[in-house]
Amino acid sequence: MSAQTLRDLSGLDQTASTLADATLILVDYQNTYARGVMELSGWEPALDAAADLLARARRAGAPVIHVVNDGGPGTPYDITAEIGRIHPRVAPIDGEPVVVKQVPNGFVGTDLADRVDAAGRDRLVIAGFMTHMCVAFTAQGAFLRGDHVTVVADACATRPLKSAVGEVSAAQLHDSALATVADLFGVVVASAADLN
């Protein structure tokens, strides 16, 4: 069995972006995922890694765009309530825009594409919550636009799920989502230290 990816077979660039030449997109680092019904497995170390990634990006002068999911009033994704706000460890500072989305792909129905284009870089570094959902779909959306995507694995997390064929652990789902991204949509690196 071949271990070649579709990226390999298509001759796509396998080079990870550096923070000096990319825009950082942080996806759904909301309090939603740190407590309650949507609490993710491993969210604390992933948030630590995200805070490190963000600090490195700011030091490198990379444009930073935050993306949040708005599920509306009373939901775990209510961005007008504390539960739906961006976690304070990775909160935006002045000049860092926040894009509000309502579907997993951050480019659908938002101005994320315009903001990426305005930053003037077609290389994107993406990390966030949940790996198998909004991170993977936003990476796909960026790829379909023609952007070069790098996803930072340890700054992402997800939760276990059940399916018709059995239970899938959070670790299995996380790894599978990253393998899907790496197969075609982008380059996956273990941590921010791999972006130098």
Catalytic site residues?
134
Beta-sheet pairing, 64-69 with 98-101: parallel
CB-neighbour burial class of residue 45 (10 A; exposed 0-12, middle 13-18, buried 19+): exposed
The span from the CA of 154 to the CA of 152, in Å, is 6
157 Cβ neighbours under 8 A, 6+ residues apart: 33, 40, 41, 42, 43, 45, 46, 129, 130, 131, 170, 174
The span from the CA of 162 to the CA of 31, in Å, is 23
The span from the CA of 174 to the CA of 7, in Å, is 20
Neighbour count for residue 19 (Cβ, 10 Å)? 23
- Both ends of the chain: CA-CA distance in Å? 33
